[in-house]
Amino acid sequence: MHVADSERLSFRLFDQNDGKLLWQLDQDPEVMKYVSGGKINTMDDINTIFLPRMAKYTNPEQGWGIWQVSDKSTQEYLGWILVRPMEFFNEDAAIKAAHEKDIELGWRFFQKTWGKGYASEAAMAIKDALIAQTNIDYLSAIAVEENLGSINIMKKLGMKFIKKALHQDPLGETELVFYQMPV
């Protein structure tokens, strides 16, 4: 999948050599507040947990993976957008297969970019590329209920609140709000 540059941003799919970029973003406790309660990730966490996880769901043809978002004019790294099947971590193969057309969008951006529309602009560009270039039925997103910035992005994308749910993945369980939109 190709993601065209937006008005201010350019996009590139991360690969296994991009651990340092993931690590840089995860060094701000405020950035990590709604992800891990403010706990920052070590480079060892990135190399042993996050890069192997990313490798399991990355599929360039489908647009799955973590997309680096950069300022188009300066190429400064601003953050990333996550794209993966919503039920990627479910161990039940039937549930996993049934949800391959329900794609999760997620985002993480440096604090200095907050409130400037970068995450919304990036998520919209990725959303548009997914809808135009892949065969999906739904776009979904999850966040802790207190993360109003992320919830506002979900609403700007056209997603609607579906439910509160307990999210389980290999890193643990978290009570989240679930937003979704048909495409």
If you average pLDDT over every residue of the chain, what do you get? 92
C-alpha closest to that of 137 among 104, 95, 102? 102
**pLDDT tens sequence across 24-66:** 999 999 999 998 889 999 999 999 999 999 999 999 999 999 9
Rounded-to-integer distance, Cα 164 and Cα 172, Å: 17
Is residue 151 in a domain?
Answer: no
Cβ(157)–Cβ(105) under 8 Å? yes
Residue 170 pLDDT level (bands cut at 50, 70, 90): low
Q: Residue 86 domain-assigned?
A: yes
* Domains of the chain: total: 1
pLDDT at 124: 98
Q: Is residue 123 part of a domain?
A: yes
| pLDDT exceeds cutoff 70 at 156 | yes
Q: What is the mean pLDDT of residues 103-116?
A: 97
In a domain, 77, yes or no: yes
Domain containing 92 — which CATH number?
A: 3.40.630.30
- 169 part of a folded domain: no
DSSP letter string, 73-88: TT--EEEEEEEEETTT
Any domain includes 154? no
Q: Which two tokens stand for residue 159?
A: 């997603």
Instruction: Using the predicted structure, report yes or no on whether residue 7 has a pLDDT greater than 90.
Output: yes
Residue 17 domain-assigned (yes or no)? yes
pLDDT above 70 coverage of the chain, percent: 92
Q: Model confidence at 92, in pLDDT bands (50, 70, 90)?
A: low
- With contact defined as beta carbons under 8 Å apart, do 107 and 85 qualify? no
Q: How confident is the model at residue 36, as a pLDDT?
A: 87
Structural domain of 112: 9-141
Distance CA 62, CA 64 (A): 5
| Interatomic CA distance for residues 123 and 117, integer angstroms | 10
